[in-house]
């Protein structure tokens, strides 16, 4: 119902509650949801996210994966809210507010510019959106996609389809070797870099360990890296401070979720995260530098 739009606070602090337009199963553990929220879709850029209200359960952050047919996001089933979310069907009500945060910054495109996009695990949504945008802006795009197994390669078909539209090379890697290279998205990226390291920028999203390793890798090539981070979010609009990652008070929900990796040196990036209480917990992952 749009009758009192004039009187409503902006959609970044008040959810648009609307029936789901469509649900698609993307991988065994991931479904994509599309909702009608033109005011969000119109302004969203890749890397921005929405807070998704699963009525009766919780409100959780989800990256926007597309704004073509409505606002789309893709959620992996990991806990309470995402499990309930996966039970919802077309027509069920969902709340979304956004677009939130700052997205990827696209360098000025020229004919020479080639962009590397790297997605690991559940990191595909913002990268898929970014790929579409980069192509529309005239970039030559290479994509490195990684997952645990072939079945879990999120948005594989979507990236594949983009090969006809502007994706130059699309390399996948799986932990179990069931598709592409044996390894992670960082290994896929390494493969691409080995062939042609002339990237003007790299945008990445995925598990934080992967982002750290990717950063180490790209520093060798001096390719500027933008990473999309995840932190526990409470307000999503920079008010509560729960998602802060450094002493300057950088908020993942507000200054991020996309950061220039070079600005994260003195931050919690790759080191610690906070749980729902605000307690700090060390991040554990396998490093490629050791």
Partner 1 sequence: MAPKKPAKNNSGLAIKIGSIELANPTILASGVLGVAAGGLIRAWQGGAAAVVTKTVGIESRTGHPGPRIVGIYGDSLMNAMGIPNPGIQEYLPEIESTIKHEIPVIGSALGNSPDEFASVAEQLAKAGVTAIELNVSCPHVGSLYLLGMDPQSVTEVVTEVVQRVKGKTPVWVKLPGSTDYPCLVKVAQAAEAAGASALVALNTLPALAIDIESRRPLLGAGIGGLSGPAVKPIAIRAVWELHQAGIAIPIIGVGGILTGSDVIEYFLAGASAVQIGTGVLTRGSTIFSNVCNEISDYLKEHGINQISELVGRINDAGVSS
Ligand X SMILES: Cc1cc2nc3c(=O)[nH]c(=O)nc-3n(C[C@H](O)[C@H](O)[C@H](O)COP(=O)(O)OP(=O)(O)OC[C@H]3O[C@@H](n4cnc5c(N)ncnc54)[C@H](O)[C@@H]3O)c2cc1C
Ligand Y SMILES: Cc1cc2nc3c(=O)[nH]c(=O)nc-3n(C[C@H](O)[C@H](O)[C@H](O)COP(=O)(O)O)c2cc1C
Total number of residues that touch ligand FES (CB under 6 A) = 13
* Residue in 93, 182, 239, 272 binding ligand FES, rule: CB under 6 A: 239
* Residue in 75, 131, 167, 204 binding ligand X, rule: CB under 6 A: 75
Site string for ligand Y, 197-236 (x = CB under 6 A): ----------------------------------------
Site string for partner 1, 95-124 (x = CB under 8 A): x-----------------------------
C-alpha–C-alpha distance, residues 9 and 211, integer Å: 36
C-alpha–C-alpha distance, residues 16 and 98, integer Å: 9
Helix (H, G, I), strand (E, B) or coil at 82: helix
* Residue in 135, 240, 263, 288 binding ligand Y, rule: CB under 6 A: 240
Q: Which 206-235 positions form the footprint of ligand FES (CB under 6 A)?
A: 233-235
Helix (H, G, I), strand (E, B) or coil at 22: strand
> Does 244 interact with ligand X (rule: CB under 6 A)?
no
Total number of residues that touch ligand Y (CB under 6 A) = 2
Angstrom distances, CA of residue 1 to CA of 17, 28, 36, 248: 9, 34, 12, 41
| Binds 74: which of ligand FES, partner 1, ligand X, none (CB < 5-8 Å by kind) | ligand X
| Binds 245: which of ligand Y, ligand FES, partner 1, none (CB < 5-8 Å by kind) | partner 1
C-alpha–C-alpha distance, residues 147 and 184, integer Å: 7
The answer to whether 205 and 126 are in contact (CB under 8 A) is yes
Angstrom distances, CA of residue 257 to CA of 56, 61, 118, 246, 282: 26, 10, 16, 13, 19
> Does 7 interact with partner 1 (rule: CB under 8 A)?
yes
């Amino acid at each position: 119902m749009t009758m009192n739009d004039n009187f409503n606070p902006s959609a970044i602090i008040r959810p648009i509650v609307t029936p789901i337009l469509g649900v698609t199963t993307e991988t065994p553990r991931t479904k994509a949801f599309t909702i009608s929220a033109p005011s969000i879709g119109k302004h969203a850029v890749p890397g921005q996210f929405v807070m998704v209200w699963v009525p009766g359960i919780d409100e959780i952050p989800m990256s926007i994966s597309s704004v073509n047919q409505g606002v789309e996001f893709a959620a992996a089933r990991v806990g309470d809210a995402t499990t309930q979310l996966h039970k919802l069907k077309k027509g069920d009500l969902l709340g979304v507010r956004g677009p939130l945060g700052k997205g990827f910054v696209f360098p000025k495109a020229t004919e020479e510019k080639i962009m590397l996009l790297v997605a690991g695990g559940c990191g595909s949504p913002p990268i898929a959106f970014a790929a579409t945008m980069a192509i529309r802006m005239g970039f030559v795009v290479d994509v490195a996609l990684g997952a645990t197994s072939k079945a879990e390669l999120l948005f594989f078909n979507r990236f594949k389809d983009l090969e006809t539209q502007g994706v130059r090379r699309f390399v996948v890697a799986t932990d179990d070797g069931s598709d592409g290279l044996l390894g992670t998205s960082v290994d896929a990226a390494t493969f691409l870099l080995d062939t042609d390291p002339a990237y003007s920028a790299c945008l990445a999203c995925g598990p934080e360990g992967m982002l750290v390793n990717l950063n180490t890798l790209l520093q060798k090539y001096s390719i500027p890296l933008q990473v999309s981070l995840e932190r526990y979010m409470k307000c999503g609009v920079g008010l509560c401070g729960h998602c802060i990652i450094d002493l300057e008070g950088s908020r993942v929900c507000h200054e991020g979720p996309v950061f220039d990796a070079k600005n994260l040196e003195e931050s919690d990036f790759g080191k610690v995260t906070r749980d729902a209480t605000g307690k700090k917990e060390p991040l554990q992952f396998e490093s490629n530098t050791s």
